[in-house]
Structure formats: C-alpha cells, structure tokens
Structure 1
C-alpha cells in the first residue's frame, strides 16, 4: 500500500481542475489524478467557445438574462451573476497567459453567436478547437509545477466525521494508493458515458457523482441532462459533435424533404435552446425521418470549422452537397455535487468544480458556451478559498479500504441501453419506475460492505455508472414537471402551469427535499 501526501489533491484534468492547479501551484504542493490520459476530458474536446461580454455593445447583464432564459427559471441568480461578472475577468486572464483566441486582420477578437444568445459574444480558438487551445495552454503551464498522475482511478474519498481527508485509488495493475490531503478538489466531469450516443470523452462515466454520493456529500438537480442536438451520424452511428456555432453562422436544420425543421417551433428557430431543438429532431427520427444540418449558407466552412470538416471527410460525408446528417446525443449535466460560491461542498475540505459541481448557474438547461466559463470562474473561487483556509493538517493514518463488492455487474452497454430507453430525451413514469428498480436490483446485491481484495478500474467504472444512473433516474421520477433538459411526456409543457417544483437533493443516509428516504441497502 503506497501512501502519498499533497497540499491539494485534484481529481480530474479538464479545464476546471487545471485552472485550480494554475492558480495554486506557485503556493502549494498540488497533485492531479486522472482516470486515463490527461488529454482525455470533455474540456479538450470542446468545439464551442467561451462566452463573455467583452465588447462595448454587450454587457454582463445581457449575458446574465440570456443565461436565466436558457435555464428555464431554475437558475440561482446570485451564482449566475457571479459567473458572468467574474467570467469577463477570467477570460482576460486566459488571454494574458497566451490562449490564442481567433482575431481578425485588425487584431480584434472574432465573436460568434450560438443558441439562445441574443448577441455575438462567443470567443473561439482555432475555429472549432477552443477547448483544445485552452486546455493545452493550461497544461503547458501547470505541468512544470504540478505532479500529474495518469491512468489511476479514485475509488472512494476518505471521510472522517464529515471531513474529507483524501482519497484512495487503483491503477491498471490493481495497485492501491492512499492520497492524504487537507484540500481535495473534485473535477471529474459529468456522466455523458451513461448513454450510448454522447459527445463526451469515453472516460466520462459519472465517477464524480458516484464517489461524492458514497462519501455523503449532497447532490442536486441530477435529472437535468442536456442533449446536444447535432451529433454527426454515419451508418446509423454518432461519430462526433457538430458545434452549435455552425448554426450561429447560418446553418439550418431540414427534413428529408428539405423543409425547415424549426420554423414555428420556437421564436429563435435554429438557435433555440438545446432542449427544444433536441426534442424536435428526436420526434422526427422517431417518425422514421433523417434530419440534416444544411450548411450551404455558411461561408468558408472549411476554414471556419476545420475540426468538423476533417471529421466529415473521415466519415465519407460529401461537404459539397451541404447536408450533414445529425441526431441528438447526451452532452452535459446541469446537476451535480452541491457547492457554495467558493466551490465548497457539504463535506469539509472537499471542493467541486466544473461539470461535476452543481453551482446553480445552468438552471434546467445550460446556455451554450457557459461550461468552460463555469470551469474557470469557480476554479478561481475554490482556489481562493483553499488559500484562505491555510494548511490545515490531513489524516496521516492509512484507513481501512472498505467499499462496495464488485460482483454481479451488468455490462456498460446494458446500462446505456436502460438510460437511453427510459431516462433519455423523453421520459415517463411508466419508464422511469422500472429503470429505478433495475438499478436498485444491482445496487442491493452489491451493497454489503467488504474489504477489496481485487478490484479493477472496469469494476469501479461500472459501479459508478450504476450509482449515477440510479441517481439520475430517481431524480427524474420525482420531478413531476417538464423543465429544460428534463421532459416528462406525462407532464407536458402545454398541459401544466409554469409552477416551479423545488430542487430535489440526494444525500446518502439522509433525505430528499420531499422527505423521501434515500437509502440503497
């Protein structure tokens, strides 16, 4: 059993985790642990840009109101105000450290427009490679002063008296390591990998939600899952994401007959919020029709979107025809581990940043290009809190590694099939109830506590997928309304008043906000 100590332990290597390290590595001994390679994160895959009110024609209040509108009246106004105001300063910080945002011949930033934004305020780098540019810049800076451990997976957090003391991990050889730290930052991303069609990196399987839940942290809004409308389809399989910026530059969605899909569906038509567009495409596909993204009116497509152009070429799509076959795919989780303004969770010494966190800024449906922004803004908040807290001591005692038994798991494809069928874009009580029961049937079998003798990364991944799938399905069953990324066809929008059901919380061995016990035994 190896034992390591660090002032700050960061779990995850996306933009949020790297930004925390960027801000702390000159002050503290920082360690980053990542499940696969550091490059494997949703942040690095991000084609869309980062939103900020950087022009005189724009104002943070306009960005604020666009964010609230997209969030379908479910945002925390206080946290959203913090996001858009601090976001401008953090984007300036990215520029100062050398992120190569696209500029015109006069040296001015080129700004794009995406869904639900009323003005051009999206900064891009490399056309459609913004995430790659930001993450690469941060990694180059951080790697000089930070210990980065790849292909090692956190199994569980170590918690004593509701205080996080560190985490324990396994690597591909099954070797265990205990990391002791007075400040643990969870930056493990979302749960797109619970679905068969997703824009997410293959490593993103709900690990952060699951380990936080097992540790006893509070989670919220897990039912709100955003599906990106435009995944490229080839031979019936999704091959990658087509950025919303393509529609911002004039592309439109059309049916097989060439009719505009979004006319009359929403006032913003093809730039409507993602949940609206995804449902419109989903319904057409359910009727047996293919939906296309018509890019004929997008000027300089190859130069503006080089990554997407290469993806189309690789999959045999003829760009000269100007029609890209698309379908929705799981993209982003609005819910997660509950935090305050400083990124602090309900467990002492445990912070959560990025997609794994529930800050309340996204409401029921995230505004395009606010995800990278959230990552850097709340990374700064968490880093400042850690610096303020000083170097409190963590436990040096190696704990007994108790965890859930690793037998009788379904396959990853079985889990994905259940999520797609019952907890997807359209949900019903009749589908969610058996889904919850299916997850519980496995969790009950493996819930006896036992010391791990042998456990693999694959075992832990499937356990985390089962746990996160159960959490999302249970939350979706209890929210008896349609709002944003959560759509119940048995509670359709047209048949309900716009009442606001309160936030549904999960906490192990505690209670929902509706006084329904949350115990898996």
Structure 2
C-alpha cells in the first residue's frame, strides 16, 4: 500500500463527538467516518435533555464546575471539568453563530431549563425535547461536502503494532474483513447501555469501542461507574424510551401507585436529586412490589413542551391527559471508558478516543445531567486543536508488514444470546451490586471467553461479533465492579453501602486478562 492509500483520520462512530471532530478536521485533513448502522443512529440523536452551559448572566462557570464535581462524588478530574465548563459556553455560542438554532423566548433569548443536581437554570434545548437530534442533523448538514461517511460497515478491531495504531479492521456489507489504514484513528463508538436489559441507548450501543480498545492494549479506567437514568417509559414489562429529566425540572414528581411521593425525605433536592440516588429509590420501590409513576399533572401545555415524549407515550397507549407516566430506571451512560488526556490521546500512539467511549475523568463517578453532549462538543474540539496544531510534525507513517496485524482464525464456539447477557448484567451488575452477584456474573461470562484476548475471525457473523464484544465489555465492567469495594456514584455495592475506601482520585484497570485468566 502506498502513502496515498492512507487516510489522515478515520473516525469510528457518528455521534456528536465524532461529527464535531470530523467537521473541524476535514477543513485541512482527509477524514473518513465509519459507522456500523446509519449515520443518524447514535445516543446523541436520542438525547432529549439538552446541553448544559453557564449561559445566564446570573450563572457562572464556577457554579457549573461545583455542580459537576458534587454529582461526580468528587471523583472527577478537576482540570477536565474546568475545561468543560469554561469552554462549553464559548463553543455553543460559536455553533449558534454558525446557524444552530436553540429554543428562544418571545424576546429572542435562549430559553434555559432546569435539571436534576443543577443549582441554576442552564440547559439549552432545541425542538423542546429533541436537542440531540437537532445537533446531529446540524452537524451532518455541515459535513455533506467535506467528509466521507461510510454506513453499515462495522469496525471489528484496531490495527496495532508495538503500541502504535495504524487504523482499523472493518467488516464490509459482504461480510469480508478489510484493513482501513489511517495516520490517526479516533474511537467515538459510544458507551455500553446495550449490555443491560433496560436501557435508554440506541440499539447499536453494545460496548464495541471498549472491547476493541481493550484488545488493542489501551488503558481503561473507571469501568464500574454506570449511570442508570431514573425515568424510562415502562409498558408491559419492557422499556420503550426515555422520559427526560427536564420533565422533573419543570415540576413533575415521582409517586407510587398509592400516590405517595417517592423522594420525600430521601434527599434535599427530592425529585431533582442526582440520578444514582433517584434510580436506587425507584429500584427499591419496584422490588417492594410497587409501581412508580411520573406525575406530570402540574405541567401546563405538556404536549407542546415535550412533543417527542408525548408522541412516544401515545404510541404505547399511555394517555398524557391522565397525568401519570409509568417509569423504571435503565442503563443510560458510562462514566468510565478508554483512559485519555484532554486531547483524547490514549495509551496507544495515534489512537484517540472521544465521547462516551472515552474517560477524561470529567464525569467522575456520576455524570451531571446534560453534560454528555457538552463533553462531546468540547473534547472533540480539544482533540481537533491538537491534531491540527501538530499535523506538520507527524512522524513518517509506515504500515508494518507483520502477521500480528492479521486477525487469527478462531474456532467458532457456542455463544449466549444478547438477551441472556443483558438479563445477567441487569440483575448482577446493575443498579445494586454485591460481591456474590458480581462473582456469579463473572464466572458466567468467563465460560464463553477464551484464556486470552478475544480474536475475531471472518467466519463470524456481525451479530456474533457484537455478542463477543458484549461478553468482553460485560466482563470488564463486572471485574472492575468487584475491585471497587465501596459505594460511589453510579457504583453501588449493597455489601459496602458507604464510602468505606477512598482509593485516591481514580483507579486504572490495566491488563486484567493476564491476571484473572491466570487463575483459571
């Protein structure tokens, strides 16, 4: 392969972080975006709540900083949080100047909403509860003539030699594996919600990025911290979609089927308490045999203020006029992921990660509401700044001719179903965890994993590759949850209900396979 066959940048994923990075980089570099489904299919597109930023004159980035640190149980990287809250408003104003339309009042001022654990009204919305979709479409329109977006091709594994990344191995529509070489590879593949039975995530989000990064030898961090959103629409034993926290921000309250207010006496912020607190309270009520509802009867003009939620409820037979929406918690966001610095650099040279698959430490142990879209925008820009400033100082890029970059054939083994994995994770590695349950989940997962890093062969179907990734990612989260013998943020151990062990600011998970598999 010649130098002209190498892309400057390949981006895996099509959420807001991927699209913002592609937009910035494509002005000077050759950028290819690949996604295993359609370009609109991402968690970013589903984001209802909005984007948090200190926009108001009565607000300040320091207030946003404090709220983010408190929600994250002081497990956050203070530098990363400061970057987020200081640069966020600047970048959002720039997007507005470029044509992004956020909701405004009759005087032309941006409307700012309230959400849980925020001390100020600082949430920008677009189309009421369709902010993510509006942002994604805005970015896709900007990329129409500058970036090649390849849909329906799945990234299978990163091409790594001697801790240096050379691109990605891709499964084509025809089922063949091909190498896509790049000077810089950006992982923006999303989180892990699809590992759990109840989730707000797009169906494509199954922990693929985490599994690929682990197989490539990248450092992973804080994998035990999984946030469950308290209010998923719950119909006939299944979740049908997300009920935005903005609904509680406008006055809705959680009640049981007897009409009792669920959050009274639980937390000073009651229904606007941090998500981990509210999720556990709903979960306990459900375990007691109670049904939990979101009482929206006090919200005027609900259908016009929350059109997406109204349409979803009506689709599944829930009458908004009745004033009650049945809810349960569901896996929503992964605070951990591939360890990166603020420029997105992983421990593997030329491999970067942004968005939910990455962990800068900005969210700590529990993400503050509406900080996820902001994170994607801010740190995609930080990565773009880094690559553009250093594009003339890149070492000569040479593709190694080495058999280790070719994926080995592996024997086809019996695999569990996706739903079996999801049910296991929801029960044992979900909202409330114990040593006994985590050990059971770990043993169950290990029966399907080889005594080495998982390899992907060409004879596997796309579904089988996804299941392998789900097994790998589930094992990583479960093992990490066993290692943290305390409760903190999105990680709640019933056998260690209080913050017993401080452990310092952050805990890195390195080379877990070599340690755990050796005990088999």
TM-score, normalisation: structure 2: 0.95
Q: Is the 8 A contact 2:292 2:328 kept in 1?
A: yes
**Residue 420 (structure 2) aligned to one of 414, 427, 446:** 414
For the pair 1:440 / 2:446, whether they are aligned, the reply is: yes
Q: Deviations over 1:385-415 (max 9, x none)?
A: 1112215443345654215734221111111
Q: Is the 8 A contact 1:218 1:507 kept in 2?
A: yes
Q: Deviations over 1:198-256 (max 9, x none)?
A: 00000000000000000000000000000000000111211100000000000000011
Q: Is the 8 A contact 1:407 1:446 kept in 2?
A: no
**Residue 479 (structure 1) aligned to one of 473, 477, 484:** 484
For the pair 1:503 / 2:506, whether they are aligned, the reply is: yes
| 1:153-232 mapped onto 2 (5 Å cutoff) | 153-232=154-233
| 1:254-269 mapped onto 2 (5 Å cutoff) | 254-269=255-270
**For 1:480 and 1:174, how far apart are their aligned partners in 2?**
43
Q: Is the 8 A contact 2:75 2:505 kept in 1?
A: no
Which region of structure 1 is more displaced relative to structure 2, 258-267 or 168-177? 168-177
**For 2:221 and 2:82, how far apart are their aligned partners in 1?**
20
**Residue 456 (structure 1) aligned to one of 453, 458, 461:** 461
Determine the structure 2 residue equivalent to 1:491. Answer: 496
Determine the structure 1 residue equivalent to 2:432. Answer: 426
The alignment partner of 1:442 has SS state of coil
The alignment partner of 1:182 has SS state of strand
How has the CA–CA distance of structure 1 residues 336 and 300 changed in structure 2, closer, same or farther, with 3 Å as cutoff?
same
1:502 Cα deviation (Å)?
Answer: 5.3
**For 1:7 and 1:347, how far apart are their aligned partners in 2?**
17
How has the CA–CA distance of structure 1 residues 30 and 519 changed in structure 2, closer, same or farther, with 3 Å as cutoff?
farther
Q: Is the 8 A contact 2:74 2:364 kept in 1?
A: yes
How has the CA–CA distance of structure 1 residues 327 and 470 changed in structure 2, closer, same or farther, with 3 Å as cutoff?
same
How has the CA–CA distance of structure 1 residues 372 and 447 changed in structure 2, closer, same or farther, with 3 Å as cutoff?
closer
Where do 5+ consecutive residues of structure 2 fail to align?
Answer: none
How has the CA–CA distance of structure 1 residues 135 and 392 changed in structure 2, closer, same or farther, with 3 Å as cutoff?
farther
The alignment partner of 2:448 has SS state of helix
The alignment partner of 2:171 has SS state of strand
1:329 Cα deviation (Å)?
Answer: 0.2
Where do 5+ consecutive residues of structure 1 fail to align?
Answer: none
Q: Deviations over 1:310-332 (max 9, x none)?
A: 00111111111100000000000
Determine the structure 2 residue equivalent to 1:14. Answer: 15
| 1:319-468 mapped onto 2 (5 Å cutoff) | 319-390=320-391, 391-396=394-399, 400=403, 401-403=406-408, 405=410, 406-444=412-450, 452-468=457-473
How has the CA–CA distance of structure 1 residues 145 and 398 changed in structure 2, closer, same or farther, with 3 Å as cutoff?
farther
For the pair 1:30 / 2:31, whether they are aligned, the reply is: yes
**For 1:234 and 1:341, how far apart are their aligned partners in 2?**
41
The alignment partner of 2:197 has SS state of coil
**For 2:226 and 2:492, how far apart are their aligned partners in 1?**
10
For the pair 1:273 / 2:274, whether they are aligned, the reply is: yes
**For 2:212 and 2:225, how far apart are their aligned partners in 1?**
19
How has the CA–CA distance of structure 1 residues 286 and 312 changed in structure 2, closer, same or farther, with 3 Å as cutoff?
same
**For 1:77 and 1:221, how far apart are their aligned partners in 2?**
16
For the pair 1:253 / 2:241, whether they are aligned, the reply is: no
For the pair 1:310 / 2:316, whether they are aligned, the reply is: no
Q: Is the 8 A contact 2:215 2:453 kept in 1?
A: no
For the pair 1:42 / 2:43, whether they are aligned, the reply is: yes
**For 2:325 and 2:453, how far apart are their aligned partners in 1?**
46
1:4 Cα deviation (Å)?
Answer: 5.1
1:264 Cα deviation (Å)?
Answer: 0.3
**For 2:185 and 2:284, how far apart are their aligned partners in 1?**
43
**For 2:415 and 2:199, how far apart are their aligned partners in 1?**
22
1:294 Cα deviation (Å)?
Answer: 0.2
1:454 Cα deviation (Å)?
Answer: 1.8
The alignment partner of 2:129 has SS state of coil
Q: Deviations over 1:270-317 (max 9, x none)?
A: 000000000000000001110000001112111110000000111111
The alignment partner of 1:420 has SS state of helix
Count the aligned residue pairs. Answer: 514
Determine the structure 1 residue equivalent to 2:95. Answer: 94
**For 1:65 and 1:310, how far apart are their aligned partners in 2?**
36
1:504 Cα deviation (Å)?
Answer: 2.8
